[in-house]
Amino acid sequence: MFTYQGKTALITGASSGIGEAFVRALAGRGMHVMLVARSEEKLRALAAEMSGQHEVRAEVIAADLGQEQAVQLIQQEVERRGLTIDLLVNNAGFGTYGLFETISPEREHQEVMVNIAAMVALTHAFVPPMVARGQGAVINLSSVAGFQPLPYMAVYAATKAFVLSFSEALSVEYRRHGVRVLALCPGVTDTAFLKEASAEPLIVAPKRTPEQAVATGLRALERGRSVVIDGVGNAMLPQVVRLFPRALIAQIAGQVMRPRGAGMSGQAAATQKR
């Protein structure tokens, strides 16, 4: 059983969507929360609400994880404030959608920085102290997209495959040290991500809520799992993918995800979980 009461969680991408749902759920369980995102005004309003509602310590660090020095800044601020991070939630990330050659290389570089490099750097920053204490946990946000190639969201799906593999490997490394590592893999979730990506018309699967995804993640964390997929229907996807050649799966995904209509030629990019 994972203990929440009186411990401290750091949540990236905490200003909306799944990140905000994590803040609310963890504060409701008696955890102090450190909120990280670019949107300082939103973070401060949420932190004040959590402090007043749950009588927990709720603090804010405004940082853009697409910038090289962001993780160093976060680590320094945590140390300066005398905080011990017991649960790290690497939730920040975003996706790009469209024809690969039409998407800005700079935007996709930033996507890799946020979805992969910042996650790895934050894990490096906060897991060693957990190992020294013999307890702690990390939840990394992957996606059902991480189980297959996804044409027209190629970089996004590849980053989520990285998150999935990284998390499974670290779960084995640190289990004997008392540190849990979980990859939470949501499917289509009712956040601003798909709308901002201009990809929403392509998705016909039922949406899950951020609160459902967070509840799934916290149950899995408490049970010591290394991977969990949110939603019964979503959980079937990896099983189906295993039954067919990856080339065929990629072809089918390409048909589903192909940009449709005017203005869908690829320059769309979405921010998610900031």
Residue positions annotated with a catalytic role:
156
Dihedral-angle region of residue 224 (phi above 0 means left; psi in -120 to 50 means alpha; beta otherwise)? left
Give Dmax over CA atoms of the chain in angstroms: 56
Beta-sheet strand order (sheet of 87-90): 58-62, 32-37, 8-12, 87-90, 136-141, 179-185, 227-229
- Whether the CB-CB separation of 16 and 191 falls below 8 Å is answered with yes
DSSP string covering 151-218: TTSHHHHHHHHHHHHHHHHHHHHHGGGTEEEEEEE--SBSSSHHHHHT-GGG--SPPBPHHHHHHHHH
| CB-based contact 9:17 (threshold 8 Å) | no
Helix (H) or strand (E) holding 77: helix 70-80
Show the CA angle centred on residue 33, arms to residues 31 and 35, nearest 5°.
Answer: 160
Q: In angstroms, rounded to a whole number, what is the distance separating the alpha carbons of residues 76 and 183?
A: 26
Question: Which amino acid is residue 203, in one-letter code?
Answer: I
> Which helix (H) or strand (E) element contains residue 234?
helix 232-243
> Can you tell me the distance from the alpha carbon of 35 to that of 241, in angstroms, rounded to the nearest whole number?
36
